[in-house]
A = this chain, B = another copy of it.
Amino acid sequence: MTGRFRTATTVREVGEGRFDAEVHDGWDIGGNANGGYLLAIAGRAMAEAVGRPPLTITAHYLRPVPAGPVTVDVVPIRVGRRLATATATMRAGDEPLLQILGSFGDQAPGGPSIEGEPPVELPPFDECAAPPGPTEGALPALMANLAVRLRPGDEGFRLGRPSGRAEVAGWFALADEEPVDAIGLLLASDAFPPPVFNTDLPVAWVPTIELTVHVRGTPAPGPLRCSFRSRFVHDGLLDAEGEIWDSTGTLVCQSRQLALVPRPPD
């Protein structure tokens, strides 16, 4: 059985470096497709074009993207022994939606390691906060396709009780238990509520300008531990950075984005 995420990110090569894809309903927030989901579609096209998995990939978001057909044009820049670098443009008709730059290749080429930061501590999956049911309303459509569980306290913003810290941590899996691979990590990197929701800032949405994801490994089976935070929110812009660890405690992904903080309505 093909998982829902795999289906919703299917790309089909229709010409030299030209891929057709479909932005599906159900991966959106208020009708606009999630940025990580869009990056997954583009990343899959680029990975297929160069025949290697993503290692580091950056997307610049040019417009909100509703459901519908899109094309992804991939241009390889350099294909070397170790890494292949390519750019891509996702378009609806002639209109550019995303511009992407990535390098693809082995995420664990082997070499020295030093002990890094430990995985974020979380209560067991079932003790973390599930999204509210449909009667509680206001749940982004995206969340029905995901099994996201928030660290107790980090869901406070949903109830008007933000934690006061610009942090969100929790578990990530796909709702239908499709395994999360390197392409799935691109989705996971942008699938949590913005950490700034847990502050007192009057912010309802934070449109991403730029998202960079470093894929540091292929996850072992099981839900992923995720931790995201905003460290610098000023003058109408904010960062959000995060890490994702697999069930063996291995860091598999780092992400960082720059986003706009729209002015609150007067």
Give the CA-CA distance A217 to B100 in the complex, in Å. Answer: 24
Closest B residue to A78 using CB positions: B62
Copies of this chain in its oligomeric complex: 2
User: Is A159 interfacial (CB 8 A cutoff)?
Assistant: no
Also in contact, A112 and B233, with CB within 8 A (given A85-B99, A256-B212, A256-B256): yes
A204 vs chain B, min Cβ distance (A): 12
Q: Could you mark each residue 223-256 of chain A with 1 if its beta carbon is under 8 Å from any beta carbon of chain B, else 0?
A: 0000000011111110100010000001100101
Q: Check A149 for interface membership: any CB of B closer than 8 A.
A: no
Q: Give the distance to chain B from A74, nearest Cβ to Cβ, in Å.
A: 13
A111 interface residue per 8 A CB criterion: yes
Asked, given contacts A60-B103, A83-B209, A87-B101, whether A111 binds B236 with beta carbons under 8 Å apart, the answer is yes
Name A108's closest neighbour in chain B (CB-CB): B235
Shortest beta-carbon distance from A113 to chain B in Å: 4
Complex interface: chain B residues within 8 A of A117 (CB)? 231-232
Known: A111-B261, A214-B239. A60 touches B101 (CB 8 A): yes
Question: Nearest Cβ in chain B — how far from A70, in angstroms?
Answer: 15
A109 to B236, CA, bound (A): 6
Cα A111 to Cα B214 in complex, Å, equals: 29
Binding site for B on A (CB under 8 A): 55-56, 58, 60, 62-63, 77-78, 80, 83, 85, 87, 89, 96, 99-103, 107-114, 116-117, 166, 196, 199-203, 209-210, 212, 214, 216-217, 231-237, 239, 243, 250-251, 254, 256, 258, 260-264
A-B pairs with beta carbons under 8 Å apart, 19 shown: A58-B212, A62-B78, A77-B96, A78-B96, A83-B209, A107-B237, A108-B235, A108-B237, A109-B235, A110-B263, A112-B202, A112-B263, A113-B233, A113-B235, A116-B232, A116-B233, A210-B214, A216-B234, A216-B235
